[in-house]
Structure 1
Amino acid sequence: MKLKSFLLFLCLFHWQSLIISSLGQGIPLSQQQANFIKSIEEQSEKAADMLISIGGIISPSGNEWERAKKVAEIMKKIGLSQVRVDDMPNAIGVIPGKSDSVLVFISTLDDLETVALHQKASGKFPYVEGNRVIGPGTNTSSITVAMLLAAEAMVQSGIVPKYTLVFAAVAQEETGLKGMHAVFETYKDQAVGFVDILGDGRRISYGAMGIHWYKVHAKGPGGHSLGGGLPNVNQAMAKAIDRIFQLDYREDRTVINIAMIESGKVFNHKPESAWFSLDMRSLNNLTLAEMEQKVLGVLEEVGQETNIELSLEPFQVTPGGQLEGALESPLVKRAKAISQYLGFEPTLSNAGSSNMNIAIAGGVSAIGLGGDRGGQRGYPDEWASIPNMILAAKHVFLLASEDW
C-alpha cells in the first residue's frame, strides 16, 4: 500500500512538472517560480495604488527628487538592500545573488515637460477606472511599478538569483539619458546585461539606433525691411535646409529630418538670428559621423554664399551600436522564450532607442522590453493599463529568477 502511494506521488509530481514546463513553452518553471508568477497576477490593486503614489508626483526631467525618494522608500519596504538615491537622482536597490556579476533592470523615472504641465493643470492625483489608472504621470511610471512588483516577488520567493540583481529607476531619460549614463558607469565592469523595461515584452530590441539631435543657428545683420533684404538669415536657413535634405543616405536605416524652424517675430523686420532643428538617425555610428561632417560642409558653403554665420550645436546625442551575436545571446533568447510564455510571438529589432543604447554603445549586452502599457502619453487623459503592468512584472521576474 505504501509502495502504491509512493508511486502515485511520483506520478503526480511528474505530471505537475510536465504541466509547469509546458506552460513555460521552453522555460521549465520551478514550483517556486510558478507560485510567485501566480502571486504577481493577484497584485492588480497594489499595482494601481503604487502607480498613483509614484505617478502622481510631478517629475519633469531634471526635477525627479521627490519621485526618486518615493521609489527608494518602496524599495526599502519590499526588502531590497543597498537602497540609495544618487545625485542624478536615480533610485537604486539590490538583491544579492550567487555571484558579484550583475543583471541590471532599468525603468525611466522622469516625465515629459508636457506631462508635468498637465499634472499642474489637473491639480489632482491619478485615479482607477476599471483596469486603468488614469491621469498624467501614469504611463511612463507604470514600468517602474512593474519593476518593483517583480523585485518584491523575487524577495518573497526566497530564490537566490544566479547574478546579483540591480533595480534602477533612472532620471533624466528625456534630457540626454543622464541617469542611465551614471548607472552604466557604476556597473559596466560587472554587468552581464542591462534590461530596459519599456513595456510587457511583446517587442524586444537587441541593437541600438544612434540618434543625433542638433540646433543649426544662423546669425546675421538685422534691421527694418526698408533697409534691404540681404544678407538675411532666412535665405541662409532655406538654402541650408534644402541642401541637407539632398544628402543621400539610404544604408543602415539612415534618415534625416528637419522639424522645427524658428525665426523672426514681425512682418517688417529682418531677424538677427534664427535656428532650425536637425534630427539624424542611423544604425551605424560611422555613418552618423560622416553625415555630421557633410552637414558642416553644407553650413560652411552656404555661409560663404550668403554672408550669414551658420553653426551646429549638439542638442541631444543618443549613441547607437550593434553587438556581434546579440540575436543569439542568452539574454535575448531568454526574453523571447518568456514573451512566448506570456502569450506573445515577440517582434525583434536591432533599432532600439532608449536607455539601453548607452550599454550597447559601451559594448555590454542590453535589451529593451517594449510593448503596450497604456495610451494618450503626454495628454491630459493619459492612462496606464493595470494588466500590462502585471505582464511586464511577470516578464521581469522570470528574467531575474532563472539561471539562464
Structure 2
Amino acid sequence: MPTWVPGAAGSAFDVDNLPYGAFSRSGEDRRAVGVRIGDYVLDLAPALADEVFASGSLNPFLARGRAAWDETRRRVQALLTQEESRGTAETHLVPLAEVRMHMPFEVADYVDFYCSLEHASNLGRMFRPDEEPLKPNWRHLPVGYHGRAGTVVASGTSVVRPSGQRAPGPVFGPSAKLDIEVELGFVVGVPTALGERAGSFADHVFGVTLVNDWSARDIQAWEYVPLGPFLGKSFATSVSPWITPLAALEHVRVPGRAQEPEPMDYLRRAENWGLDLAMEVRLNGEVVSRPPYRGMYWTPDQMLAHMTVNGASLRTGDLFASGTVSGAESGERGSFIEMTWNGTEPIKLANGETRTFLEDGDTVTISATAGGLALGEVTGTVKPAR
C-alpha cells in the first residue's frame, strides 16, 4: 500500500508491517502503545481515540482477540494511507529518535522449545558422541521447558554474567561459557481455561518477536540432569521491543518441514505455519551467522498444541519460543556453542580477535527479515559478574 508517511513507503517498516511496541517520549514518564511506521511511532491512544493503548502495555489489547486485532490493523492502515486522514494522524507521529522503547507486554508465563533438528543433532553429537544424536522422544513431540517469566527483558537491557556451580569439581564462580540462542518468540493474546486445549493457532497468538535466550553452558551442563535447564537459563532472556502481528507475515507462511514419523493426531498440521524468515547474528557489529528459520522441524502451531494438550491454561501475555534456530551449514548456526563446536573451533573476527564464548563488553544483536519486511532487532551487552 502507498503511505503518506515520509520515507516509509517501500521500507522494511511500511504499512504492510506495523509492529506494536510500548514507548515513552524523551523526558516524559508516560508510557503508551504505538505502531512503527518507517522511522516514526504512531501514538495509538489519541490517533484511534482508544484508551486501551494508553496503559503502556500491549496486554489489554492482546486480550481483545483476533477480530479486534484485525479491525485495529485496518484502521491504522487507513490512517496511514488515506490523504484525508493525514491531518489527524500526523500530529500523533513521533520520530523514533525521540522515543525510548520499553518491554512491550507483561510476560505471564514463558516456555522455551527445542525445535531445530540441526541444533538438537549438533548438541547430541557434541555431548553424546557414542549415542544417537537425538533422544528417542525428539521426533514425536516438541521438547520444551518452562522458563522464568520475571527475567524476560526488553532489548537493550544489559546482561550481567551469571555465577553458579560449574563442573568439574564442582566449583562456584562466573560462567566461562556464556552463550546466546537465536530464537523466534510467539506472544499469546487469547487465554484458555484450565483443563481445555487451545484452538486454532491464529485465534490465540497475536504475533512474533525475536528472542535471545542467553545461556550459561557450563552451569547448564552441570545442573540439567535430571530435570533440565534452570540457573543456566533463568538469568536473562531478551526480546525485541516490537511485536510483529501474524497478519504481517501472511506472505512468508510456508508448509512446515516434512516429519517422520507422522506426528500424533493432536500434532498434525491443519495450516501452513512454517515461516520463511532470514535471521542474522552480529557480534560487536560483525555478522557471524545467518540462521534460516524456514527449516525448523516443529512449527509454532504444534508447539501451542503440545503445550496445552494436557489442559495447561494459556494466559494473556504468555510467551513461547522456538528454541535455537540453526541450519545445516556452518554459517547458519544460532549459538556460539555450535559455531565454535563447544570452544574447540574459535571464531576469527575481522579485527583479529577470536571468540569461543562471549566476553565481558561483547554486544550481540539478532535481526530478521520476512520478505521485504523487518522484525525488530533484539540486542544486549554483557556486563561483568557481580
TM-score bucket (shorter structure): under 0.3
Structure with the larger RCO, 1 or 2 (CA within 8 Å, 6+ apart): 1
Could you say which structure has the higher strand fraction?
2
TM-score, normalised relative to structure 1: 0.23
> Which one has a bigger Cα radius of gyration?
1
